[in-house]
Structures are given as structure tokens and as C-alpha cells.
Amino acid sequence: MSNPKRVSDTPYAVDVESGKSYFWCACGESKSQPFCDGSHKGSDFTPVKYEAKESKKVFFCGCKGTASKPMCDGSHK
């Protein structure tokens, strides 16, 4: 598997809604960061589903190097 494209040196702060699903871009090629737009098609990458259990602000990884996909774990530092 190839490495994902590093998109940002900071996480994406997103207000998520309880009960809604979000699909995080794992390849780094999406034009709709941090979310998948289908740009991974034909690659080894697949988006990561995140289901919001409550409405709150969360931080999606922008560097694509997190060990806790799709959330930021500070790997960008």
C-alpha cells in the first residue's frame, strides 16, 4: 500500500451531529477534506466511517498519519 498524501499540518475541527455518519478521506486526494469525495477509487485506500454518538466538535486528522483514524492524535507535530 502506498502512503497517503499529507494534506494539512493541523487537524480539521468539525461540528458533528448526533446520529450522522461521516466518511474521512484516508488517501489525501479528496478535494472535500477531511471527507471522502471518491478520489481513492482505483487505489488501495478506503474511507473511514465515523459515526457521531453526540453533537459536538471533533478533530479529524489532516496529516493522514494518525494511529487513531479518523481522529487526530497529534502525529502532525
pLDDT single digits (tens) 7-17: 999 999 999 99
Q: How many domains does the chain have?
A: 1
Residue range 7-65, pLDDT digits in tens: 999 999 999 999 999 999 999 999 999 999 999 999 999 999 999 999 999 999 999 99
Name the residue range of residue 34's domain: 12-60
Task: Say if pTM beats, i.e. exceeds, 0.85.
Answer: yes
Q: Is residue 5 part of a domain?
A: no
> Which phi and psi (to 5°) does residue 21 adopt?
-105, 145
Alpha-carbon distance 31 to 25, whole Å?
Answer: 10
Burial of 13 per CB tally in 10 Å (0-12, 13-18, 19+) = exposed
CB 64, CB 7: distance < 8 Å: yes
Give the angle subtended at the CA of 32 by the CAs of 53 and 2, to the nearest 5°.
Answer: 95
Is residue 1 pLDDT above 80, yes or no? no
Q: Does residue 26 belong to any structural domain of this protein?
A: yes
